[in-house]
Amino acid sequence: MKPIEIIDIDVSYGAKKILEAITFHADTGEILGIIGPNGSGKTTLLKAMSRVVARDSGEIRLDNRDLDTLGYRELARQVAVVPQDISIGFDYAVRDVVMMGRHPYIGRLASETLRDVEICDRAMHLANVAHLAGMSIHSISGGERQRVLIARALAQEPKILLLDEATSNLDVSHQVDILNIIKELAGKITVVSVFHDLNLAAYYCDRLLLLKDRRVYATGTPEEVLTYENIREIFQMEALVRPHPLTGKPYILPVYAHQSRVGTNRRVHVVCGGGTGSDILHLLYAASFTVTCGVLNVLDTDYGTAMRLGLSCIAEPPFHGITPGSLSDLRKCLDSADAIIVTAMPIGRGNLDNLQVLLDYPKKPILLYSGNSNSRMEDYTGGEADAVLTELESRGALRIEGGEELLAGLPQGYSDQR
Ligand SMILES: Nc1ncnc2c1ncn2[C@@H]1O[C@H](COP(=O)(O)OP(=O)(O)OP(=O)(O)O)[C@@H](O)[C@H]1O
């Protein structure tokens, strides 16, 4: 039995359709993250799940019971919501706000029991607001108020907790504290949460639901949903997606788009390999340079990156040296490039031609890119590659470290002529 099932629902505000044919479920004890661009309907979906907005059609089932058949108190024992909009009309004390979470359990004319007080205290302790208990809800900060609403939801002891970006107002340590609490609670309860921060979603969620244009665009594990392609398609943003070095979960690093179009009408050729060029291929692509690269081996990570970005790349089969045909293609790319970038790649006999050919282009700007780690080219040629680099530097090739410096060192295009 699924704790919550959404079956083919449509939701509209007036004549405007907001959600269409939405079907998914949450599994017992999991954290399901809802992600998607602004206005894609995430909040509306949570509101439909808690019956705050009505559906046009479709069904929502809680433990296989129709959501619409539950009375108010029963619904409130099953589902707690922490909304995005955290305004509270009356001037209640924090403790009273948290105690509101117990209302579905306290009889109409009855007063709170010792058990209600204990649960309320525990919820305040978990959300780290116990020290605020006597204060007015209006005299605490936005982040503190958000934690109070989380405490109220915990006091409700729900089976399903719906969070609408519930940690967005929190500083980074409280954000992690609250999400850790929620992760601990999950297992006992099921959590469905809207996230804007994709990295938090990747770490804390068991599965993700990605919304786009009123519909479900993708569902699955964070690894399945947070792909480079999905992020580019949905958020129209260049980003590097890498496994987090400590958690192994996908980690998204935006390639900041303010640089976009600086390279319009400019061509750059990148000599790279072994993954040393991947980051800057993304950066140059995001900055609207026309990028060519190679000669690369088709098994090379940089080749994979070039293919995903749709860049023009000269390539040889696996374990193949550079053939005369590729060398001639390389010369054509270098002839038409406004600048050449060489990364700190491993150079052996097989790809030495990639470097040596650059000596024939004394007038081209050449940037030797070592990345932020300031690594140097690994020379497996017994010194020949190093000799070429030394010669290039003596002719004016510049050593460049970070991405910003790289963009600054390249000939700029006509970014103001949009
Ligand atoms: N009460 C309302 N009346 C009419 N339209 C609404 C109402 N609430 C939201 N909308 C519209 O519904 C669409 C989806 O809004 P919703 O808040 O669900 O999106 P969201 O994905 O949560 O957005 P965000 O990421 O900005 O929080 C938007 O176009 C919004 O303008």
The minimum-distance atom of ligand 1 relative to the CA of 165 is 27
pLDDT the model gives residue 418: 39
Q: Cα separation of 111 and 117, whole Å?
A: 11
| Same-domain pairing of 280 and 393 | yes
| Same-domain pairing of 185 and 40 | yes
C-alpha 356 to ligand 1 mean position (Å):
58
- Give 88's contacts (C-beta < 8 A, 6+ positions apart): 97, 137, 138, 145
| Same-domain pairing of 71 and 168 | yes
* Number of Cβ atoms within 10 Å of the Cβ of 100: 17
**90 Cβ inside 6 Å of ligand 1:** no
Domain count, the chain: 2
Kindly state whether residue 245 falls inside one of the protein's structural domains.
Answer: no
Alpha helices in 186-300 (DSSP H): 198-204, 222-225, 228-235, 278-286
The minimum-distance atom of ligand 1 relative to the CA of 14 is 4
Total residue length of the chain: 418
| Same-domain pairing of 190 and 336 | no
**CATH number, position 152:** 3.40.50.300
The tokens describing 78, both together, are: 């099953």
Q: Cα separation of 120 and 99, whole Å?
A: 6
Contact between residue 127 and residue 181 where contact means Cβ atoms under 8 Å apart:
yes
The minimum-distance atom of ligand 1 relative to the CA of 47 is 18
Kindly state whether residue 252 falls inside one of the protein's structural domains.
Answer: no
- Give 129's contacts (C-beta < 8 A, 6+ positions apart): 94, 98, 144, 147, 148, 151
Kindly state whether residue 216 falls inside one of the protein's structural domains.
Answer: yes
- Give 105's contacts (C-beta < 8 A, 6+ positions apart): 77, 116, 157
Q: Which residues pair with 161 in a beta bridge?
A: 80, 191
Identify which of 345, 373, 350, 378 has the alpha carbon closest to the alpha carbon of residue 277: 345
Reported in sequence order, the residue ranges of 27-133 that DSSP labels E, i.e. its strands, are 31-35, 57-62, 65-66, 79-82
Kindly state whether residue 393 falls inside one of the protein's structural domains.
Answer: yes
Q: Cα separation of 60 and 9, whole Å?
A: 8
The tokens describing 207, both together, are: 């599965």
| Same-domain pairing of 299 and 231 | no
The minimum-distance atom of ligand 1 relative to the CA of 84 is 27
| Same-domain pairing of 137 and 268 | no
Strands 190-194 and 160-164: parallel
Contact between residue 208 and residue 222 where contact means Cβ atoms under 8 Å apart:
yes
Q: Which residues pair with 367 in a beta bridge?
A: 341, 398
**34 Cβ inside 6 Å of ligand 1:** no
User: Candidates 13, 22, 38, 168: which one to mutate for ligand 1, based on the most atoms within 8 Å of Cβ?
Assistant: 13
**18 Cβ inside 6 Å of ligand 1:** yes
C-alpha 41 to ligand 1 mean position (Å):
6
| Same-domain pairing of 300 and 353 | yes
**36 Cβ inside 6 Å of ligand 1:** yes
Domain region containing 357:
257-409
- Tens of pLDDT, residue by residue over 341-370, are 999 999 999 899 999 999 999 999 999 998
Kindly state whether residue 213 falls inside one of the protein's structural domains.
Answer: yes
| Same-domain pairing of 190 and 332 | no
Kindly state whether residue 416 falls inside one of the protein's structural domains.
Answer: no
Mean pLDDT of 257-271: 78
**3 Cβ inside 6 Å of ligand 1:** no
For residues 93, 96, 97, 100, the Cα torsion angle rounded to the nearest 10 degrees is -170
Check pLDDT > 80 for residue 169: no
Name the 3-class secondary structure at 38: coil
- Tens of pLDDT, residue by residue over 267-322, are 999 999 999 999 899 999 888 899 999 999 888 999 999 998 889 999 988 778 89
% of the chain residues with pLDDT over 90: 64
Check pLDDT > 50 for residue 44: yes
Banded pLDDT at 259 (limits 50, 70, 90): low
**297 Cβ inside 6 Å of ligand 1:** no
**40 Cβ inside 6 Å of ligand 1:** yes
DSSP letter assigned to residue 359: G
User: Candidates 40, 194, 195: which one to mutate for ligand 1, based on the most atoms within 8 Å of Cβ?
Assistant: 40
pLDDT the model gives residue 261: 66
| Same-domain pairing of 223 and 263 | no
| Same-domain pairing of 290 and 227 | no
Identify which of 244, 245, 210, 212 has the alpha carbon closest to the alpha carbon of residue 224: 210
